[in-house]
Structure 1
């Protein structure tokens, strides 16, 4: 094998293609075009003097050599990411960019008012918001701060539980006016239900509280959380949503208080090295305060709400 020291960009492209399985998926992951990734792979093969991928009709297939190289390259990528985090944590300026990821529902319907306040307080800090229902990698800087609906388990992360958001059955008054209001859980079998498509999450949650549903019980199905919410708002049937969002949306009504689905846990997460950065810490602390206040307000029962 030739004695070479390939540029790190070539190794990064190589690792992305192995991990993602194709040039197009790797390009979306790291922000390179397919032609650029293809050139990187060819250059790396030439410099190393080895074949890294078999070219097939299905795409690039890693060779045995590529699979052996992948683990040390991935470890090096992790080490470089950790070094970048340490450097980031040493900065003292309240300026720059903070990248926040959260679920699509939280990003679209809950965070915008909180981010408005953050921008007023920290005008020199730009905010990048990443609506995503997938798990973003904080260590590799795919995001700086994450709002999660589950407890993170990685030891490198700082995670704070902010509270729990109640989930309620609900429907728009236009739908209830046409179809009637369900009074007991069994009434739902005679209604149009809005639920998930390929995911079993809602079926399992219903089963956990003693209510048997099948996929066929849902006449409107989508795995997009935001699309499901819009279907409820449009009066297409009975669905389940966060109590706070239901209360703040004109025309929506909470239904069947005897049905109590498991609440959504809300966790705020960042990497422990980033937590030392004044810029990241400032946004983290303000988000924690704003979300905690929101959760407290939306967890109150109707009798506890302020009278207008």
Structure 2
């Protein structure tokens, strides 16, 4: 049955549909949305009727999306992002700087660098609300999943306002207790005798780094994690030697940089937002605060 004006699906049905796809069950979807299982079930039935499609089949471990559901999912996700962006835009209207700004940044920057910057911003503009997403996805601004992004690479998409902040240096560091037990390596070749901390899954960026640093291969790592926060925690705990932002390590007197001349990376750092947000007061002040705060962080 085709969709007509009389049975046009409403947003709540799509939202429930997305949660069932994500969780695989009506009860789990209901818990995440604060709705009852029967309500979620009615939303799915109503959406299936309105679209004239079977969206789920009952399986031994829950609800399994059909091919039609998989095809509809990205459109429902786009609706979700657009609806959230609409609410953020609406929240910013009124006198003064107010409303919600959704930011996205990498784990390390989001957890270790941005909090004091955002605390100062909130102090200056107490009617601002900040949402922070830890992510490195390149397309989240265009899809309106976030208003502003802090990225360790130059955004190349059109329709973005992007500003280069500078370079963040990354070096090899270890806790002083680890170095007291195992000694300080005098060359890159000596790293093979140490407990190294590094990645689990190789990426294009990691491969480019490995070309110049043969010692830093997955096989040589005693601790492997794709989470930068997990790697940083291992360095702080004295597990071994790993890569860390120099400005971040400088905050902790117990973290010691090793082989600074032999190993040094620079992460190009940018702040970007969708060009449609140029006139948004809430985004403009946040964009400026991020640029200023990150420059201060880089310069120590």
User: Are the structure 2 counterparts of residues 75 and 147 from structure 1 closer, same or farther at C-alpha, using a change threshold of 3 Å?
Assistant: closer
How far apart in 1 are the matches of 2:228 and 2:35? 30
1:123-174 Cα offsets, whole Å, 9 max, x none, are 2212233334555723454322221122223323222121110110111111
Q: List alignment gaps of at least 5 residues for structure 2.
A: none
How far apart in 2 are the matches of 1:48 and 1:128? 34
How far apart in 1 are the matches of 2:72 and 2:230? 42
Helix, strand or coil: the match of 1:273? helix
Matched, 1:62 2:72: no
Q: Hey, what does 2:162 align to over in structure 1?
A: 159
Given candidates 116, 141, 145, the residue that maps to 1:142 is: 145
The TM-score with structure 1 as length reference comes to 0.79
168-177 or 153-162, which deviates more? 153-162
Q: Hey, what does 1:265 align to over in structure 2?
A: 268
Q: Hey, what does 2:129 align to over in structure 1?
A: 126
User: Are the structure 2 counterparts of residues 108 and 91 from structure 1 closer, same or farther at C-alpha, using a change threshold of 3 Å?
Assistant: same
Q: Hey, what does 1:207 align to over in structure 2?
A: 210
CA shift for structure 1 position 53: 3.0
Asked whether the 8 Å contact 2:93–2:99 carries over to 1, the reply is no
User: Are the structure 2 counterparts of residues 134 and 31 from structure 1 closer, same or farther at C-alpha, using a change threshold of 3 Å?
Assistant: farther
How far apart in 2 are the matches of 1:244 and 1:144? 26
Q: Considering only aligned residues, what root-mean-square deviation do their CA atoms show, in Å?
A: 3.4
1:42-62 Cα offsets, whole Å, 9 max, x none, are 221133443233333464232
User: Are the structure 2 counterparts of residues 17 and 268 from structure 1 closer, same or farther at C-alpha, using a change threshold of 3 Å?
Assistant: farther
Q: Hey, what does 1:51 align to over in structure 2?
A: 54
User: Are the structure 2 counterparts of residues 91 and 161 from structure 1 closer, same or farther at C-alpha, using a change threshold of 3 Å?
Assistant: farther
180-189 or 80-89, which deviates more? 80-89
1:52-107 Cα offsets, whole Å, 9 max, x none, are 3333346423245x566667767767776787787678766311222222112112
User: Are the structure 2 counterparts of residues 91 and 232 from structure 1 closer, same or farther at C-alpha, using a change threshold of 3 Å?
Assistant: same
Asked whether the 8 Å contact 2:174–2:241 carries over to 1, the reply is yes
How far apart in 1 are the matches of 2:165 and 2:156? 16
User: Are the structure 2 counterparts of residues 181 and 108 from structure 1 closer, same or farther at C-alpha, using a change threshold of 3 Å?
Assistant: same
How far apart in 2 are the matches of 1:72 and 1:198? 30
The TM-score with structure 2 as length reference comes to 0.81
How far apart in 1 are the matches of 2:100 and 2:203? 37
